[in-house]
Structure 1
Amino acid sequence: MRLTLLPPLLALSACSLAPELVKPELPVPAAYPSPSSVVTDGDHAADLGWRSMFGDPRLQRMIELALLNNRDLRLAALNVEAVQAQYNIQRAARFPAVNATGGTTRQRIAADQTADPATSARMQNQHSLGIGVSAFEIDLFGRVRSLSEAAFARYLASEEGRRAAHIALVGAVADAYFAERLAQEQLDLAERTLADWRQSLDLARQLKSADQTSGLDIAQAEGQVATAEADLEGRTRALARATNALNLLVGADMPDDLPPPRPLDGSAVRTHLPVGIPSELLIRRPDIRRVEQTLLAANADIGAARAAFFPRLSLTTSLGYASPALGSLFDNGQWVWSIAPQISQPLFLGGQLRAELRLAEIRKSEAIAEYERTIQTAFREVADGLAGSATYGRQIDAQVRMVVSTERRMDLSTLRYRAGVDGRLEVLDAQRQLYAARQTLLDLKRDEIGNAIGLYKALGGGLTEQEDDGTQASHD
């Protein structure tokens, strides 16, 4: 047999029993709830590089370090390489494995085993050299092809999973960074407040020494200072934990040349983003593309399970030379060949094949449900981000007015207390209200930034570093 017969045999494996894949309709409305303050035109947020999204140079440097050193992202990349190797292994089954073999045999034949009974025992040699194909499955019904397609889809799914991990890491670093900035500013506010309240305590003690107040004012001021000291310790602990969380995400020691941080007011985070329509999420979000590839793999698995019911045709061939003497191995007449086709048909496996087909169909149904759920989750995340974009600005403006009002109240209360018009309790209440209002304002600013980060991730942003001139860098 000649090796030129192999291409026609390979062409026989063009059949596939995988069902036609019909993707479900989008289980979400055709449009987002779009308040008037939300930007819906222009470029899509997924095309916005994270350097444009986050204008703080210190944060940009930390994202760079995280993309280089984060262990979760490194594991995701290694998982892609592992799945790619699995696909290459499975794809190799679609091609014949050609092996070259050479060997020699020397054996003693007993006298009673020779053709002539009168012949005494003798030694026999056999030398051989050839190439051959061993048990190559001719994929008549597409079983091997379906398995290869499933492996390829899983490889693509793992690659999309790595991209999703990339986006999640960029967002997580930004979240952790601003959590640290919030903790630092809250700590600074607690320190300033404690210093102010200690001054008030000193004033109360001076007034008591002059017999202008009672010991009750001192007790109230001391209690307020103790409250501020306790809060200061809590803020210190929160800052340490936020710093630890950020260091874990970055995955490396922070360099000494990091740019100075910006305050939350000057963080330069875009809080209004172009969102497009829900169907764009199918091509913008890697997590949706990942479950889509998983669905394709599950569909191909059904084809392989169906093909298992039909006969399997395998082929073993070899050609080469064989001779009892090594010197005459390549002489005329020593050429040999063999061909051994084999067909097998499952008859009784105790219901195994039907169970495998049923399992493949169930897993496809699970993949469809996961696909729909991922789309619904993505829609909800975007809708939540839009709701935040429409309301945080107005809420922060109202809180700023609240802070200004409480500052004015505290100034007036202090003046009236020193003039003897009001008691110490009014001043303490004004101080507490101002401290709470300032802390609430910091929380709101951090929440607005967190909402913008969440919307950016929900729209598929964070994969590219920059978007100018078509030169995108995504650390892929």
Structure 2
Amino acid sequence: MIRTAGLAALTALLLAGCATVPHDPPQVAQLQPATLGLDTATPAIDANWWTAFGDPQLDRLIAMGLSDSPTLESALARVRAAEAMVDVRHAAQLPQVTVDGQSTYQRFPEKYIYPPPYAGAAWPITQVQANLSWNLDLFGREKAMVAGARASAQAARLDVAAARLTLSTSIAQTYVGLARAERLIQVANGFVTTRQQALRYVQSRIKHQLASQFELRQAETLLAEAEQAQTRAQGQRDLLVHALAALAGRGADFYPQIAAPTLALDAPPTVPDLLPADLLGRRPDLLAGQSRIDAAAAGRQVARTDFLPNVSIQALAGFAALGLGNFFDPGARTYGAGPAIHLPIFEGGKLKAQYRGATADLDAAVAGYNEAVLGAIRDASDALTLVRTADKDLGDQRRIVAGLRETARLDQVRVSTGLGSRLDTIDSGFRLLEAEQALAGLQSDALTRRIQLIAALGGGFDPNQPLVAAPVEAH
């Protein structure tokens, strides 16, 4: 009868605890792919997309960066910390066993509750006790905490994938910049040679009193401008070498090991020309945002279970005695077991505030994800437009260069036949060199825009593959 009454009282307490859960729904809805106007096709992007540029040195630099970058090492450390937290949360679901022991030498007062011979004397109090506690998690609080920790760990792993993509595209773009700088150095060298020839020609005309000092100063100024462009191109080349070494996780001793790129500026690789239907599932940063939504939802569930009863089982067994001689006596044994119940009755509104805060955290995670999705779609759309624009601009510039090359050839023919002036060939040479300088810039832009599009589409990321750092290639 007593047991029945106790069970009924326990059931009543549990039901009373369940009645206080508030109704506070989220306010922000997650964007769905069907409403974003994405294409139905799915383009294929190789996981090692940079190999399409056909430059072994670029492959080596990216492999080194993905292996030794401090940025990746920091992200991987966060993954290990998040995975450790999953183990911590999982351990809380299991029975906890501890052993405590202490021995205190204490004098007992004469004017208190202790009888002789303890009163007025000092005695050792020794206690050794094994404790068992097990949270039954009847309402899923610990389970929700494990789910939240797992979602956070998954977000950290996806952050590593996003960092890998950012690093690889940064190395590739910097490498294209290096190729451009090398090409501009070649063009600048041509400028210097041509303007040196022009200066010598003017000096020759002055010698024969066919030119003025004004023309001489003009030729000298043009030569100085060409030499300045040459110096700037060489300086830009050195800065890009420094940047590549840093991105690859190397120091100044690595600078001499970076040779001139061999990638072809005039042969950009093919890239997708559409916004894929699986854009939201191929970008690791968006998938990380989804995992953070899951973590926030689990946190909200934890806050919800705080309103509910928490039931656990506790047990103890050990020895406790007054005086060392009594410690091993069978009468020093102590043990006990039973359920423990925690019910929130009055907490001044703290639990409701925590629940509202957890709901707001979920709304913030969803809003952040939605913002990232719209930004990703815009980035990909902009990248597609820029690729098409760069290709058209490059085609126009190629026709300009072809026309100027023909003009320079015809001027040379006219000079050789005595029908033209040497000044005409120098002027057409200047224009051709300037056009070739612009062509080098547009060629590198075409490659850079493709790299940006690959980044906007998530690269060759596959969420089903393990996220590990690439090995360092032999170098």
2:32 — aligned with what?
A: 25
Alignment correspondent of 1:317: 315
Q: CA 1:354 to 1:267, structure 2 compared with 1: closer, same or farther past 3 Å?
A: farther
Partner Cα distance (1:320, 1:471) in 2: 48
Q: Which residue of 1 aligns with 2:249?
A: 251
Asked if residue 354 in structure 1 is aligned to residue 352 in structure 2, the reply is yes
1:74 shift after superposition: 1.4
Judged with a 3 Å threshold, the aligned counterparts in structure 2 of structure 1 residues 22 and 212 are, in CA distance, closer, same or farther, namely closer
Task: Give the whole-Å Cα distance in 2 for the aligned partners of 1:336 and 1:267.
Answer: 86
Give the aligned partner of residue 393 of structure 2. 395
Distance (Å, rounded) in 2 between the aligned partners of 1:80 and 1:187: 44
Cα 1:99–1:184 change in 2 (3 A) is same
- Matched AA of 1:82: A
1:278 counterpart SS class: coil
Question: What is the alpha-carbon distance in structure 2 between the residues aligned to residue 119 and residue 71 of structure 1?
Answer: 66
Q: Tell me if the contact between 1:171 and 1:457 (Cα under 8 Å) persists in the aligned partners.
A: yes
Contact 1:127–1:323 (Cα < 8 Å) also in 2:
yes
Cα deviation, 1:96-152, whole Å, max 9, x if unaligned, reads 431012333443434444665798745544443331036x65434333332332222
Decide whether the 8 Å contact of 2:400 with 2:435 is kept in 1. Answer: yes
Question: 2:70 is aligned with what amino acid?
Answer: R
Report the AA paired with residue 343 of structure 1: H
The offset of 1:311, in angstroms, is 3.9
- Residue 310 of structure 1 and its aligned partner are, at CA, apart by 3.3
Q: Distance in 2 between matches of 1:346 and 1:440?
A: 76
Structure 1: unaligned runs, 5 residues or longer: 1-11, 33-39, 465-469
* Alignment match, 2:233: 235
Amino acid in structure 2 at the alignment position of 1:353: L
Quick one: distance in 1 between partners of 2:345 and 2:154?
33
1:182 aligned residue? 180
Cα 1:339/1:357, change in 2 over 3 Å: same
Amino acid in structure 2 at the alignment position of 1:25: Q
Q: Quick check: 2:58–2:175 contact (8 Å CA) kept in 1?
A: yes
- Counterpart of 2:106 in 1: which secondary structure? strand
In the aligned structure 2, how far is the partner of 1:420 from the partner of 1:118? 134
| CA distance in 1 between partners of 2:95 and 2:467 (Å) | 41
Whether the 8 Å CA contact 1:275–1:459 is kept in 2: the answer is no
The residue that corresponds to 1:449 in the other structure is: 447
Q: How does 1:395-414 map to 2 (within 5 A)?
A: 395-413=393-411
In the superposition, relative to structure 1, how do residues 267 and 300 fare at CA in structure 2: closer, same or farther (>3 Å)? farther
Paired residues of 1:44 and 1:276 also in contact (CA < 8 A): no
The answer to whether the 8 A contact 1:87-1:155 is kept is yes
1:325-370 C-alpha deviation (Å, 9 max, x unpaired): 6577566554321347242414142x33333222222222221122
**Which residue is equivalent to 2:62?**
63
Identity of aligned residues (%): 25
- 1:137–1:314: 8 Å Cα contact kept in structure 2? yes
How far the C-alpha of 1:194 sits from its partner, in A, is 0.6
The answer to whether the 8 Å contact 2:282/2:461 transfers is no
Local SS of the residue matching 2:224: helix
CA gap of 1:268–1:104, structure 2 versus 1, over 3 A, is: farther
Give the alignment partner of residue 437 of structure 2, picking from 426, 439, 460.
439
Structure-2 change in CA distance of 1:255 and 1:421 (3 Å): closer
How far apart in 2 are the matches of 1:372 and 1:119?
Answer: 73
Q: Give the aligned residue type for 1:398.
A: D
- Give SS of 1:279's match: coil
Aligned length: 445
Structure 2 CA distance, aligned partners of 1:327 and 1:139?
43
Match of 1:37 in 2: none
Query: Unaligned 5+ residue runs, structure 2?
Result: 1-13
SS of residue in 2 equivalent to 1:320: strand
Structure 1 pair 216–121 and aligned structure 2 pair: CA distance change class (3 A): closer
Map 1:79-98 → 2, pairs under 5 A = 79-98=78-97
Superposed CA deviations along residues 246-286 of structure 1, whole A, max 9, x for unmatched, are 222112146589585444536876x2235786331233211
Question: Could you give the per-residue CA deviations for residues 186-216 of structure 1, whole angstroms, max 9, x where no partner exists?
Answer: 1221012111110121012112212344444
Secondary structure of residue in 1 paired with 2:278: helix
Distance 1:273 1:220 in 2: 47
> Is the contact made by 2:194 and 2:426 (CA closer than 8 Å) also made in structure 1?
no
CA contact (8 A) 2:30 2:370 kept: no
Q: Secondary structure at the match of 2:264?
A: helix
Does the CA contact (< 8 Å) of 1:55 and 1:267 recur in 2?
no
Measure the CA separation in 1 of the matches of 2:63 and 2:445: 24
Separation in structure 2 between the aligned mates of residue 147 and residue 63 of structure 1, nearest angstrom: 38
